[in-house]
């Protein structure tokens, strides 16, 4: 079964994440495809959708959530909580770019929403295993 992925926020970081997703798909590690894109700038959402052969390009995140199994939240931090809560309510798995939220209260509420809904979730802390950060951690330990 192909995992249907939506990208909300079609800027620089979304391009990096979609390239990484393409890499693991091309390597045969997962069966997934970007099927929907969303951005406040419709032209950007359309361009991103065309680049990924996604059928949906919109400014309405609810439209994306209705069409996907998982969502990559690549928006400004202040929007993360509401988007993750909406995804959790829709039963959609969440990958949320860092930082998770602008406040501890927002981060806790977001976490409660995804845990309470039982949806898979992850924060994009992708640099934690980069060699330079591992070496720095070892030096400080």
Residue 87 is given by DSSP the state H
**CA 59 remoteness from chain centre:** 16
Per-residue pLDDT in tens (0 to 9) along the chain, 141 residues = 999 999 999 999 999 999 999 999 999 999 999 999 999 999 999 999 999 999 999 999 999 999 999 999 999 999 999 999 999 999 999 999 999 999 999 999 999 999 999 999 999 987 777 888 888 888 998
Domain range for residue 135?
A: 3-140
- Confirm if 38 and 65 have CB atoms less than 8 A apart: no
pLDDT of residue 131: 86
pLDDT tens column, 34-75? 999 999 999 999 999 999 999 999 999 999 999 999 999 999
Number of domains making up the chain: 1
- Confirm if 112 and 121 have CB atoms less than 8 A apart: no
Angle at 92 between CA 37 and CA 12, to 5 degrees: 35
CATH number at residue 106: 3.40.50.720
Distance CA 51, CA 72 (A): 16
Identify whether 55 is preceded by a cis peptide bond (ω within 30 of 0): no
pLDDT of residue 127: 79
């Amino acid at each position: 079964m192909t995992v249907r992925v939506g990208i909300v926020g079609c800027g620089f970081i979304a391009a990096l994440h979609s390239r990484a997703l393409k890499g693991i798909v091309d390597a045969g590690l997962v069966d997934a495809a970007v099927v929907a894109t969303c951005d406040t700038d419709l032209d950007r959402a359309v361009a991103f959708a065309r680049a990924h052969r996604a059928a949906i390009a919109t400014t309405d995140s609810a439209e994306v959530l209705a069409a996907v199994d998982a969502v990559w939240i690549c928006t400004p931090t202040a929007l993360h909580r509401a988007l993750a809560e909406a995804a959790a309510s829709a039963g959609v798995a969440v990958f949320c770019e860092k930082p998770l939220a602008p406040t501890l209260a927002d981060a806790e509420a977001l976490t409660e929403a995804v845990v309470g809904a039982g949806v898979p979730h992850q924060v994009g802390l992708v640099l934690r295993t980069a060699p330079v950060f591992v070496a720095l951690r070892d030096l400080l330990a």
